[in-house]
């Protein structure tokens, strides 16, 4: 396939960026989107030009590092996958593909398509640890029976890979889907009950301090999330936050 790529190039956080055109004349439809960018970078390096900086690690939908805004959508046109799981057969010969970084005030661009998502790390750190000892002396799982539907809901929340697509998709750059998933994975389980109040209060406070916007129930986050994290998590987080605010 022949493709025209319009890629956001930005030298560093302090300089203005712009879209730059590149042409690829022999794209393999079976390549992944990141392999297509590898091919472009190989060509740029051979020509003595700067390769395009982009984030990636596992390349199998697990780590949450890949974070491209493709034709106006985080992780591209398909639902339920990360950028690394997108394949070039999803595009047509002659297509023009716009590739930009995730955009949000709390995710400043470091270079080209790489953004700084350490705000997510600080929110998780603010949540702290659980005090239940789970290392070296694990309880038999059956000693704490947990209803299957509850265990499944906690597991679904825990599948959030922290990619930030929810923020990039949201007109308010809200991080509430991410934060609510991280709160829910513990709030649903007895092991998370001890610190439940301080966890939700501290994580929401940190989320606000990082400059993320608020949720106005648009739902774009759920649609663009590669792990299809449900909006129900946001409702649960709001209930947990209200409970944490009740004294006594
Ligand atoms: S909720 Fe979904 S979109 Fe948001 S960080 Fe987690 S996996 Fe990514
Ligand atoms: S590179 Fe790990 S999720 Fe895409």
Domain boundaries, the chain: 3-111, 117-245
CB 226 near ligand 1, within 6 Å? yes
CB 225 near ligand 1, within 6 Å? yes
Residue from 118, 162, 220, 237 to probe ligand 1 pocket by mutation (most atoms less than 8 Å from CB):
162
Return the CATH number of the domain spanning residue range 117-245: 1.10.1060.10
Query: For 85, how many CA atoms within 13 A lie in the half-sphere containing its CB?
Result: 16
CB 66 within 8 A of CB 53: no
Give the position, in ligand 2's atom list, of the atom nearest the Cα of 56: 1
Give yes or no for residue 248 having a pLDDT over 70: no
Residue from 178, 185, 223 to probe ligand 1 pocket by mutation (most atoms less than 8 Å from CB):
178
Q: What is the pLDDT of residues 57-96, one digit of tens each?
A: 999 999 999 999 999 999 999 999 999 999 999 999 999 9
CB 82 near ligand 2, within 6 Å? yes
- Give the residue among 33, 121, 72, 95 at the shortest CA–CA distance from 220: 72
Q: What is the pLDDT of residues 143-172, one digit of tens each?
A: 888 999 999 999 999 999 999 999 999 999
How high is the pLDDT of residue 232?
97
CB 229 near ligand 1, within 6 Å? yes
Q: What is the pLDDT of residues 207-231, one digit of tens each?
A: 999 999 999 999 999 999 999 999 9
Ligand with smallest separation from the Cα of 54: 2
What is the distance in A from the centroid of ligand 2 to the CA of 74? 13
Residues 159-188, mean pLDDT to the nearest whole number:
97
CATH architecture of 3-111: Roll (3.10)
Q: Whose CA is nearest to atom 6 of ligand 1?
A: 160
Strand pairing of 18-24 and 3-9?
antiparallel
How high is the pLDDT of residue 176?
98
CB 107 near ligand 1, within 6 Å? no
Cross-strand partners of 98: 6
CB 57 near ligand 2, within 6 Å? yes
User: How far, in Å, CA of 201 to CA of 156, rounded?
Assistant: 22
Q: Whose CA is nearest to atom 8 of ligand 1?
A: 163
Q: What is this structure's pTM?
A: 0.94
CB 181 within 8 A of CB 229: yes
């Amino acid at each position: 396939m022949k493709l025209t790529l319009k890629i956001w190039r930005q030298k560093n956080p302090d300089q203005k960026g712009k879209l730059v055109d590149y042409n690829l004349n022999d794209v393999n439809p079976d390549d992944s989107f990141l392999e297509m960018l590898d091919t472009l970078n190989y060509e740029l390096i051979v020509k003595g030009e700067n390769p395009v900086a982009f984030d990636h690690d596992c390349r199998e939908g697990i780590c949450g590092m890949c974070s491209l805004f493709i034709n106006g959508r985080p992780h591209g046109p398909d639902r339920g996958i990360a950028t690394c799981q997108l394949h070039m057969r999803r595009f047509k010969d002659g297509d023009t593909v716009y590739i930009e970084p995730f955009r949000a005030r709390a995710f400043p661009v470091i270079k080209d398509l790489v953004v700084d998502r350490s705000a997510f790390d600080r929110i998780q750190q603010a949540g702290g640890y659980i005090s239940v000892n789970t290392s070296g002396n694990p309880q038999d799982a059956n000693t704490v029976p947990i209803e299957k539907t509850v265990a499944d809901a906690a597991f679904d929340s825990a599948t959030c890979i922290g990619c930030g697509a929810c923020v990039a998709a949201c007109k308010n750059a809200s991080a509430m889907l991410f934060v609510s998933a991280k709160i829910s994975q513990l709030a649903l389980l007895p092991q998370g009950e001890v610190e439940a109040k301080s966890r939700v209060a501290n994580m929401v406070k940190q989320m606000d301090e990082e400059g993320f916007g608020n949720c106005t129930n648009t739902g774009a986050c759920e649609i663009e999330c590669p792990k299809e994290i449900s909006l129900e998590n946001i409702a649960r987080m709001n209930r947990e936050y209200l409970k944490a605010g009740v004294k006594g």
